[in-house]
Amino acid sequence: MMEQASASQGVVRIDGSTLSIDKVVRVARMGASVELAREAWGRISDSRSSLEQLLDEGSTVYAVNTGVGDLLDVRIPQDDLKTLQVNLLRSHACGVGEALPVEVVRAMMLLRANALAKGFSGIRPQLVDMLVGMLNSGVHPVIPRQGSVGASGDLALLAHLALVVIGEGQAESSAGVGSGAEALSASGISPLVLEPKEAISLINGTQGMTAVGCLAAEDAANLIDNAQIAAAMSLDALKGTVTAFDESIQKVRPHKGQLAVAKNMRALLQDSEIMESHKHCARVQDAYTLRCIPQVIGATLDAVWHAMGVLGVEMNSATDNPLYFPDGSRILSGGNFHGQPVALAMDYMGLAAHELGAFSERRLARLVDHKLSGLPPFLTRHGGLNSGMMVPQYVAASIVSENKVLVHPASADSIPTSAGQEDHNSMGMTSAWKARQIVDNVSRVLAIEMMAAAQGLDFIPQHASPAIESVRILLRSRVPRLEEDRSMARDIEVVARMISEGMFVDTAEQVCHYTRA
């Protein structure tokens, strides 16, 4: 369980408009504390006061004094409105499957609080304060992963989060995993009694898919950084050329990602003794996985940037329904809870991340094939007695094949719900979770490529570029050269962890002018 919020990470202020992926990561993974901006408190309070006035006047408002979904025409008596809040949470909290990781839960809580802080939900400021207090005290609802269809938001998942607000459900806290009431009590927090409109405002939104998406996008950007380093290592080990990365080539097809990757490749490979040694060889051009690194990795970079842009808008949006607009006291029912923007972006990002792995595995295959690499077969001196890097390539191929299944777009499917009232659903949570899985898988493919490239470089008497040599030295500090066969399962996981922690990128940055994704 994550400890209480860490002061060392500073304070993330939420106001409904200025949240970023970086801030989400700080709160979700690093335990940064959270506070509600003063101006947001006043905006939320004014919104609530105006909504209460409308209710006092007898207005009928969906999900406030009516049923939900296909039961929208059922009017709820005034005396039952607080009971309706509890019933909405209990009935919707029916998710199944493994519990979401704590980092995802924290991101969901932060994102829901920020959406409410915009001041269009008609809730009390105390509700946002409650979510902030739970975050800062390390009270993390136990939320099953499965159950969202991604329209009307991530209803089932957010309902599990909201149950803890009222002292029900399950949560993890300093006291361990227990009931919501026990978790709140252990942290000195009292449950809230929800007022009309507050239940639907807690559960109607896209914070599940957006939380997973933000963390996956952060990890995908890190993968792109590492993919360029892995590609540079392989290029040097395979005695390729930097000619294809010349700036003039990129400028006549100026995709931003392509330009950025080509610049990085030139920096990573600058002053390579290996390249200088074969500068005038007879080879005219390299294979696509070496020559087209800017075009392929650059396209993935563009896709991840696009996804980050979508997530940036989504995390600072009001996504529940109905929305209350204090100017003119208007309550409007709409569809901001529909996860289609995020679903499409996550399917796109998952496909783009998969391409990093597919691209990497083909370079790995070249490295272990002596007919293509000019290196010892399977990168071992005593082939036959030793299999060397033969089977790690099998593992990479298996992972890439698994990702080919995962890239099927979840957003292409829709199953109607609520007796046809909700007749198109985004399946955005599935899109986001698949993207997360793909990114995690690709980290291991890149790890295997880096290990093979380092092994290949070990056979070449000349030095690689200073940047690549620094990366190789770092890798060798954790994973020794493969002199004779050993199980490499642990080695792969070690290097994958180094990738995830950004260690290779940090090292390269210290040596050359490398620009992160």
Summarize pLDDT for 451-475 with one digit per residue, the tens: 999 999 999 999 999 999 999 999 9
| DSSP string covering 231-266 | HHHHHHHTT--SGGG-HHHHHTS--HHHHHHHHHHH
What does the pLDDT read at residue 301? 98
What tokens does 286 get? 């390299």
Is residue 81 domain-shared with residue 220, that is, in the same domain?
Answer: no
User: 128 φ, ψ to 5°?
Assistant: -70, -40
pLDDT at 68 > cutoff 80: no
Is residue 25 domain-shared with residue 122, that is, in the same domain?
Answer: yes
In a domain, 64, yes or no: yes
In a domain, 1, yes or no: no
Is residue 410 domain-shared with residue 505, that is, in the same domain?
Answer: yes
Is residue 12 domain-shared with residue 59, that is, in the same domain?
Answer: yes
- The residue among 153, 183, 205 that closes a domain is 205
Is residue 223 domain-shared with residue 166, that is, in the same domain?
Answer: no
pLDDT at 5 > cutoff 50: no
Greater confidence, 71 or 416? 416
Share of the chain above pLDDT 90, in %: 83
pLDDT at 328 > cutoff 80: no
- The residue among 149, 175, 205 that closes a domain is 205
pLDDT digits (tens, 9 = 90+) for 79-129: 888 898 999 999 999 999 999 999 999 999 999 999 999 999 999 999 999
Sheet arrangement for strand 140-141: 140-141, 170-173, 176-179
pLDDT at 3 > cutoff 70: no
Whether the CB-CB separation of 318 and 115 falls below 8 Å is answered with yes
Q: What is the CATH number of the domain that holds 278?
A: 1.20.200.10
In a domain, 246, yes or no: yes
**What pTM, to 2 d.p., does this model score?**
0.95
In a domain, 49, yes or no: yes
Q: What is the CATH number of the domain that holds 103?
A: 1.10.275.10
Question: 62, 348, 394, 514: which is the annotated catalytic residue?
Answer: 62
Question: What one-letter code names the amino acid at 129?
Answer: D
Whether the CB-CB separation of 64 and 200 falls below 8 Å is answered with yes
**Element at 211 (helix H, strand E):** helix 207-237
What tokens does 177 get? 């995993």
CB atoms within 10 A of CB 401: 11
Q: What is the mean pLDDT of the chain?
A: 94
In a domain, 198, yes or no: yes
pLDDT digits (tens, 9 = 90+) for 231-286: 999 999 999 999 999 999 999 999 999 999 999 999 999 999 999 887 777 676 89
Distance, CA of 476 to CA of 454 (rounded, Å): 8
pLDDT digits (tens, 9 = 90+) for 34-46: 999 999 998 999 8
Is residue 453 domain-shared with residue 489, that is, in the same domain?
Answer: yes
In a domain, 516, yes or no: no
What does the pLDDT read at residue 59? 77
Terminal CA-CA length for the chain: 30
In a domain, 54, yes or no: yes
What does the pLDDT read at residue 282? 64
State how far the alpha carbon of 118 is from the alpha carbons of 72, 150, 152, in Å.
25, 21, 19
In a domain, 455, yes or no: yes
Helix/strand/coil for 7: strand
Q: Where are any strands of DSSP class E within 264-409?
A: 323-325, 330-332
Distance, CA of 244 to CA of 236 (rounded, Å): 14
- Number of structural domains the chain divides into: 2
State how far the alpha carbon of 291 is from the alpha carbons of 58, 277, 360, in Å.
69, 19, 13
Whether the CB-CB separation of 375 and 363 falls below 8 Å is answered with no
pLDDT at 33 > cutoff 70: yes
pLDDT at 6 > cutoff 70: no
Range of lowest pLDDT (37-51, 402-416, 474-488) = 37-51
pLDDT at 21 > cutoff 50: yes
pLDDT at 421 > cutoff 90: no
The burial class, CB within 10 Å (0-12 / 13-18 / 19+), for 461 is: exposed
Is residue 20 domain-shared with residue 94, that is, in the same domain?
Answer: yes
What does the pLDDT read at residue 51? 82
Share of the chain above pLDDT 70, in %: 97
Is residue 129 domain-shared with residue 241, that is, in the same domain?
Answer: no
Distance, CA of 115 to CA of 128 (rounded, Å): 9
Whether the CB-CB separation of 207 and 131 falls below 8 Å is answered with no
- The residue among 178, 205, 232 that closes a domain is 205
Is residue 120 domain-shared with residue 235, that is, in the same domain?
Answer: no
Is residue 55 domain-shared with residue 170, that is, in the same domain?
Answer: yes
Helix/strand/coil for 172: strand
What does the pLDDT read at residue 4? 47
What does the pLDDT read at residue 278? 79
pLDDT band at 7 (very low <50, low <70, confident <90, very high): low
Whether the CB-CB separation of 24 and 108 falls below 8 Å is answered with no
- Is 62 a known active-site residue? yes
Is residue 383 domain-shared with residue 239, that is, in the same domain?
Answer: yes
Q: Is 378 left (phi over 0), alpha (psi -120 to 50) or beta?
A: left
pLDDT at 1 > cutoff 60: no
Domain that holds residue 220: 213-416+423-511
Cα 371 from chain centroid? 39
Is residue 164 domain-shared with residue 85, that is, in the same domain?
Answer: yes
CB-based contacts of 422: which residues, under 8 Å, 6+ apart? 69, 149, 151, 152, 416
The burial class, CB within 10 Å (0-12 / 13-18 / 19+), for 477 is: exposed
What does the pLDDT read at residue 419? 84
